[in-house]
Structure 1
Amino acid sequence: MDWFEEWFDSPFYEILYADRDEEEAALLVDFLEDYLSLQERAKVLDLGCGRGRHAIHLYKKAAKKHENGYQVTGVDLSERAVTTAREQAKAEGLENIRFEVRDMRNPLPEKFDAILNLFTTFGYFKSDEENISVLKSVKQMLVANGIFVIDYLNAAKVRNELQTSDEGRLKSINYRIHRYIEEDSVYKDITFSGDNIEETRHYSERVKLYDLDWFQEKMSANNLIIDDVFGDYKGEEFDPEKSDRLLIISHLKADGKSGDKK
């Protein structure tokens, strides 16, 4: 079992990341929605949607801007995450949004006007070939000139400023995090313990440290042409030494193998 299959479906994942900033998600979605200027009824895929916070924010923002909004789909490998996203959408009465359990390496049998891969939901696989397969999947699912957005960590800053340890207590559960870099991947080993846990639990995360030049090369090889690169969710210029994020806006070259835009 890959690390993400075990970790993302764990109840401890939700405990550790319960305070993830909804305002931060809304800030990114607001920036992208204004920048991309998608048409009414645009088909948008949130690839690696997690608990659906970005997809739901996008759906609601588009509904306010357009009479018919966007057709939003979110996919994620974690059944637990998809269930949470579906429950949240239902609780808010959102009808034209769907969430599916799916591996991002396997394309859906349909085309999208835009595909979003947000909050470092890339680089999870150990080999470059597997990670590149995600780009191939994106290429297959985009219409001609369709938009692909990837929001990734800034690898150079991670290498230079890695915080190696962290610990705390959440809901009467103790957690300890150890971070390190090995084989140009950043690892996070996470341990949970406490009186409410029968035995200590261990989980891990691993993300490849890809720089902008890697994305430029691999995306170009898949007819994904980079249009803009930003360093945060406000549209600031990307600085490889200082920026918190690597936010890449691209489009599928019209002569790439894709469906026609309708």
Structure 2
Amino acid sequence: VVGIDLSPNSIEYARKFEHIGLNFQVHDMREPLEGEKFDYVFNLFTSFGYFSSDEEDKAVFKSVLDVMRRDGLLVIDYMNCEKAIHGLKSEESLVIDDVRFDIARWVENGKIHKKISVQEQQFKEEVKVLDLEHFREYAKATGFTLDEVYGNYQLQRFQNTDSDRMIMIFRPK
């Protein structure tokens, strides 16, 4: 098992749990992992959708295809954007361990934005609004077929307006 992330800090933390058969590397998922072939590739918890262009998103699919065995599976877990947008809380404040977090969320230019303010510091992230058709198009353009779509971690059928997640199973063509 190989875990990858762009963040050196995340990989440094993950390496505390390494053992034989489990290692972690700083790596860009848009680039193939040299010298490796995998039966399964997992992209979990909306780790997709942070790149600025469709071409970069397709590059992820292409790099996975390069490192996947012919009968392998790609599993992508992504938020169900339709439900996420419908239930979006535009503003919220939380107090955790006497620390106040002010959170603002909005949709703009095809992305869901979130700004978290903690005292004088701010953190901002944005993720693309991608629906099932986006993923089908990425798959078709890069040599995959979409086999199954589930709507939650209990693997119930995906429903566009009600499901929390889109858990998609892709196979190489």
Structure 1 residue 134 displacement after superposition: 1.1
C-alpha separation in 1, matches of 2:145 and 2:85:
27
The 8 Å contact of residues 72 and 171 in structure 2, kept in 1 or not, is answered as yes
C-alpha separation in 2, matches of 1:82 and 1:175:
26
- 3-state SS, counterpart of residue 49 of structure 2: coil
Structure 2: which amino acid aligns with 1:201? Q
Give the alignment's TM-score, normalised by structure 1. Answer: 0.63
How many correspondences in the alignment?
172
Structure 1 residue 214 displacement after superposition: 1.2
| 2:27 aligns with one of 98, 102, 113 | 102
| 2:9 aligns with one of 77, 80, 88 | 80
Structure 1 residue 183 displacement after superposition: 0.9
Structure 1 residue 112 displacement after superposition: 1.0
Tell me the C-alpha RMSD between the 2 structures: 1.2
- 3-state SS, counterpart of residue 180 of structure 1: strand
The residue number in structure 2 matching 1:243 is 163
The residue number in structure 2 matching 1:155 is 81
The residue number in structure 1 matching 2:151 is 231
Structure 1: which amino acid aligns with 2:106? Y
Equivalence map 1:193-208=2 (5 Å) = 193=119, 200-208=120-128
Q: Deviations over 1:208-262 (max 9, x none)?
A: 0111011111111111111111000111100000000000011112xxxxxxxxx
| 2:38 aligns with one of 112, 121, 128 | 112
Structure 1 residue 148 displacement after superposition: 0.2
Larger radius of gyration: 1
The residue number in structure 1 matching 2:133 is 213
C-alpha separation in 2, matches of 1:216 and 1:201:
39
| 2:66 aligns with one of 137, 140, 144 | 140
Structure 1: which amino acid aligns with 2:114? K
The residue number in structure 2 matching 1:252 is 172
- 3-state SS, counterpart of residue 138 of structure 1: helix
Structure 1 residue 171 displacement after superposition: 3.7
Give the alignment's TM-score, normalised by structure 2. Answer: 0.94
C-alpha separation in 1, matches of 2:132 and 2:76:
11
C-alpha separation in 1, matches of 2:138 and 2:21:
33
C-alpha separation in 2, matches of 1:130 and 1:171:
39
Q: What runs of 5+ residues in structure 1 fail to find an aligned partner?
A: 1-71, 194-199, 254-262
Q: Normalized per residue, which structure has more helix?
A: 1
Structure 2: which amino acid aligns with 1:75? I
C-alpha separation in 2, matches of 1:189 and 1:115:
31
Equivalence map 1:125-136=2 (5 Å) = 125-136=51-62
Aligned structure 1 segments of 4 or more residues deviating by more than 4 angstroms: none
